[in-house]
A and B are shown apart, each in its own frame.
Chain A
Amino acid sequence: MKHMRITTAHQSITFSRRMMLLGGAQVAVGGLLVGRMGWLAIAQNQKYQLLSESNRVQLIPVPPRRGWIIDRYGKPIAINKASFRVDLIPQQIVNGPQILARLQQLLDLAPDDMERITRELSQSRGFQPVSVADNVPYDRYAAITVRLPELPGIAASQGFTRFYPGGSTVGQLVGYVGPASAEEYERENKNPLLLIPGVKIGKEGLEKVLEPVLRGQPGGQRVEVTARGKIVKELDPKPDISGGTVQLTIDADLHEYAARRIGDQSASVVVIDVASGDILAMPSMPSFDPNNFSDGISQAEWKMLSSDDHLPLVDKTVESLYPSGSTIKPSMALALLNAGVDRKQIVNCTGAFRLGNHTFHCDRRHGPLDMDGAVVHSCDVYFYTMCLRIGAEKLAPMVRSMGFGEKFDLPFDHQRYGTIPDPEWMMRKYHRKWQGYDTVNMSIGQGMVLINPLQLGVMASRLATGKRVVPRLIKSKPVVPQAQLEVDQDHLDFIRKAMWGVVDHGTAAAAKFPIAVIQMAGKTGTAQTHNLSAGERGNYTSAVWKLRDHSLFMAFVPFDNPRYAAGTIVEHGGFGAAVAAPLVRDTLTFLYDKQKAIQALNAFEQSIGGTLEERLARKTAAWRAANGLPPLPPKQA
């Protein structure tokens, strides 16, 4: 075409042709648009309808009620109480200091609480509500709700608070609950449930370990919302599923009794039903009050708890390790019998035992003793002599089979299991040969021997039954079948008789069972923590508390047909028979005669200055005064 002259006619043809092209292109675009719309509205209609619905309908999660923890008889250990609560949503706060001041005035918050709220506000993420007050009395709650419009960032709601009727006596057992931290929120893949004010998750103890059972399934209010989050109308709700109830093998009354009977000591008690291995009580005292923890505790309270040398933040039953002291002797005696030692053979105790150039002492001169006498009077020299003769290799397996150093499958996440040493272990751990003095130390439960109080209770159960009793805490878990221990029945009968002798006329004779028809068998223990001189050791009350010996006792009742076993370790309690034995005696008495046991407790509490609550209040007040803090306001009902 290039060489041709273009005329008006040509131009007209070009125009018509190009108009057709343009028209065609327009029709094509139109077709494309109709096709696309058909694709969206017909082929993909379902997908987009679903997306449109998920836009329109939102679920406001309704937190499930947390499951209860109950004792073996159905008595509540951890339950929920209806309550009013006030929270702060950091993102929505406009004038922080002013809001806080107003809140303090409206809710009459203590300086401690203000300090906690300020701290949590500064640490929180914007979306994460900060609890201002839980369990708000109704009139205060109402005072807040009517002023909500002038208090941006404040959320007042009705909910449930965790309530532990046992207070501080169950602190170490159940742990506590609290709002989820930022890390916990991340760990659960940003579960929106954790952001709801008032939703608490288990932080410690059973509350933490049993969290999957206790939490339940959140329900929700289905609502139609705008893109900006404004609720247009409410649709039918999706019900929530409450958390499951967990029944423990614990006897709540016995547990609380034992906890109170501990008094001001730093101690723990374990009581086991020997037939099933059920743990009936396992208090560790002093403890914290989990009711206070669920709101978040103040810095002052935390400081008081963590600086206490009686370790209220440690569950001593499974977390603390102690030398077993003489409580190891019945098991040692069984090992000696097993190894062929004649129980009638006499060892003369001169009060001291020389090995190489070192002298080991006995607590007194026992004179000539056979095995029965050595257990009943807890003679160390007898066991030094006999155990050296037999050797550690034959001792350790028997002691371990009785439960020392054993791991138990229990719902606690901080368990420590201790050690029963032997030559092979010594080489592995300390790269040195086992020496005679190691055997001597081990024979009386000192040196490398470390146990926890639960293991002490288990040992008492196994000695009582001759069976491999395995402790159990969750009622729904099957009872572990109890295998026979590899011990001669004759040996067992002998050792039980010896343990009966301990209480009847031996080291624990002062702690006889107060019920005529029931006799208790047991074994005392005194575990050295520091090398005190003989003089200091004799006078327990004068030595510095921290340096005193631990006081141990294990026992079972009734002696002739064992039903219950118990173990206790009283930190720095002094001579085992003096503190630990009466504690176990009273606790076990409670199982048979509550009246008598409670009388004993009342008398005991009288002697140490009032009930647990009274003493705790005094202690707190004294601590606050000593640390320059104002006294706490009286507790609201």
Chain B
Amino acid sequence: MITSALIPKPLARLPWRLIFLVTGIATFGLVVLYSAAGGSMQPWALKQALVFFAFLAIAIAMSWMKESTIKAIAFPLYGITLVMLIGVEALGFVSKGAQRWLDLGPIKLQPSEFMKPAIVLTLARFYELVPAGEIRKWRAIWPALLLLGVPALLILIQPDLGTCIVVVLCGITVMFLAGLPWWFFATPAAGFAVAAPIAYRFMHGYQKQRINTFLNPDSDPLGAGYHIAQSKIAIGSGGIWGKGFLHGSQSHLDYLPEGHTDFVFATMAEEWGLVGGVILMLAFALVIRWGMQVSQNARTRFAQLAAAGLSATIFFYVAINLMMVMGLAPVVGVPLPLVSYGGSAVMTVMLCLGLLMALERQQRTVSRVI
């Protein structure tokens, strides 16, 4: 918050620190995309800049939304997204091919992206409605499971394992914070250990391959393990200070696959080293901490749960992507928000941030009224 007589009040009341932080991350991302294209704004950096600033504007506009409005749209948003997910599935069935996109002429919509904030808002709204005394009852669990399970399943069969994992983790985070009993989390964890081998058998070939490769990346260094191996080489060879801007051989000579999308962190780390990586991770940590503080300062249960869930969404995005590029998790296709090229991740993160800014403004307004 900037307090100055020179700046008009509505502007001064924006969360400038967050906006600077996010713009900083995105700008660094643009620098990396510029380098990944061999030192050119084309074909990625310029387009990404336009997308980012467009969504930043939308996020700032969203910050004027009232909490009551957000509450009111929670269920409809969820419903529409679910219908779109089913629509994508049906379209895929008709065209006999995998389908993630809903082609609406000029724009392509990926409904699974909307599901990330939607599931957070819906579950937050649901647990706000559950009376405190009922929270440990079965009644407080099965509707949430259904609300989470149906879209998760629809996304999984698209197939988009990465998004599915993020959606499920976001949902579980909200349920955890809502105060569901411990056994609810412990049992599935145990169950997962048992069910994982069974689930493995039903996975798509490429998903199986990714998990095999993750468990033993050296088994197939030229095949599916190639991504992880090359990513580790890029990060490891960067050292502490990096090879220098525009001097990353792994990315510039195309050894690093997906160097501008999922593996953009490796492209960055090769040129900017450990220093660049730690600064970027710190910046994300600050964004997430800001979101978590919004949650802690929230007055209402909905705002608490929603803010924490939305922050968690950003956290899971970043954490899963970084674990993936550093060889700590299988390659599941989760981009690094604000840095990876592509509009979907930017859109999701900016929607989350827009909602968080709205909730944060609400706190300040309310406190001032009081």
Please give the residue numbers on chain A whose beta carbons come within 8 Å of chain B beta carbons, in ascending order. Answer: 2, 5-8, 10-11, 14-16, 18-19, 22-23, 26, 29-30, 32-34, 36-38, 40-42, 44-45, 47-49, 51-52, 55-56, 224-228, 232
Give the top 5 A-B pairs by smallest Cβ distance, nearest first: A48-B236, A52-B237, A227-B254, A14-B179, A41-B274
Contact of A11 among B132, B173, B274 (CB under 8 A): B132
A26-B319 Cα distance, complex, nearest whole Å = 9
Contact residues, B205-241 vs A (CB, 8 A): 230, 232-240
With A34-B281, A41-B273, A49-B236 as contacts: A5 and B133 at CB distance below 8 Å: yes
Would you give 24 A-B contacts (Cβ < 8 Å), ordered by A? A6-B136, A10-B132, A11-B135, A15-B178, A15-B304, A18-B177, A22-B308, A26-B288, A26-B319, A30-B281, A33-B319, A37-B281, A40-B326, A45-B236, A45-B237, A45-B239, A51-B233, A52-B249, A55-B249, A55-B250, A55-B255, A56-B255, A226-B254, A226-B255
- Whether the pair A32, B328 counts as a contact (CB closer than 8 A) is yes
In angstroms, how far is the closest chain B Cβ from the Cβ of A546?
60
- Whether the pair A19, B235 counts as a contact (CB closer than 8 A) is no
**Cβ–Cβ < 8 Å partners of A23 in chain B:** 292
A29-B285 Cα distance, complex, nearest whole Å = 11
Q: Verify if B90 is at the interface (C-beta below 8 Å from A).
A: no
Q: Verify if B83 is at the interface (C-beta below 8 Å from A).
A: no
Q: Which of B233, B240, B296, B323 has the most CB of A within 10 A?
A: B233
Contact of B177 among A15, A40, A55 (CB under 8 A): A15
Contact of A41 among B135, B178, B238 (CB under 8 A): B238
- Whether the pair A30, B285 counts as a contact (CB closer than 8 A) is yes
Q: Which of A14, A33, A232 has the most CB of B within 10 A?
A: A33
Q: Which of A22, A52, A226 has the most CB of B within 10 A?
A: A52
Please give the residue numbers on chain B whose beta carbons come within 8 Å of chain A beta carbons, in ascending order. Answer: 132-133, 135-136, 173, 176-179, 230, 232-240, 249-250, 253-255, 269, 273-274, 277-278, 281, 285, 288, 292, 295-296, 301, 304, 308, 312, 315, 319, 322-323, 326-328
**Cβ–Cβ < 8 Å partners of A10 in chain B:** 132
**Cβ–Cβ < 8 Å partners of B179 in chain A:** 6, 11, 14-15, 18
Q: Which residue of B lies closest to A47 (CB)?
A: B236
- Whether the pair B233, A55 counts as a contact (CB closer than 8 A) is yes
A418-B179 Cα distance, complex, nearest whole Å = 98
**Cβ–Cβ < 8 Å partners of B232 in chain A:** 40, 48
Contact of B132 among A6, A36, A41, A47 (CB under 8 A): A6
User: In terms of DSSP, what is the predominant structure of the interface of chain B?
Assistant: helix
Extra contacts besides A2-B136, A26-B315, A228-B254 (4): CB < 8 Å: A15-B304, A26-B288, A47-B236, A55-B250
**Cβ–Cβ < 8 Å partners of A7 in chain B:** 132-133
User: In terms of DSSP, what is the predominant structure of the interface of chain A?
Assistant: helix
A48-B178 Cα distance, complex, nearest whole Å = 45
In angstroms, how far is the closest chain A Cβ from the Cβ of B235?
5
Q: Which residue of B lies closest to A52 (CB)?
A: B237
Q: Which of A8, A10, A38, A55 has the most CB of B within 10 A?
A: A55
A18-B281 Cα distance, complex, nearest whole Å = 23
**Cβ–Cβ < 8 Å partners of B237 in chain A:** 45, 48-49, 51-52
**Cβ–Cβ < 8 Å partners of A14 in chain B:** 179
**Cβ–Cβ < 8 Å partners of B238 in chain A:** 41
- Whether the pair A37, B133 counts as a contact (CB closer than 8 A) is no
- Whether the pair B254, A52 counts as a contact (CB closer than 8 A) is no
**Cβ–Cβ < 8 Å partners of A51 in chain B:** 233, 236-237
**Cβ–Cβ < 8 Å partners of B177 in chain A:** 15, 18-19, 22
Contact of A37 among B249, B278, B285, B312 (CB under 8 A): B278
**Cβ–Cβ < 8 Å partners of A55 in chain B:** 230, 233, 249-250, 253, 255
Q: Which residue of B lies closest to A37 (CB)?
A: B277
A55-B269 Cα distance, complex, nearest whole Å = 17
**Cβ–Cβ < 8 Å partners of A41 in chain B:** 235-236, 238-240, 269, 273-274, 277
Q: Which residue of A lies closest to B295 (CB)?
A: A19
- Whether the pair A37, B234 counts as a contact (CB closer than 8 A) is no
Contact of B239 among A6, A8, A22, A49 (CB under 8 A): A49
A56-B243 Cα distance, complex, nearest whole Å = 14
A38-B326 Cα distance, complex, nearest whole Å = 11
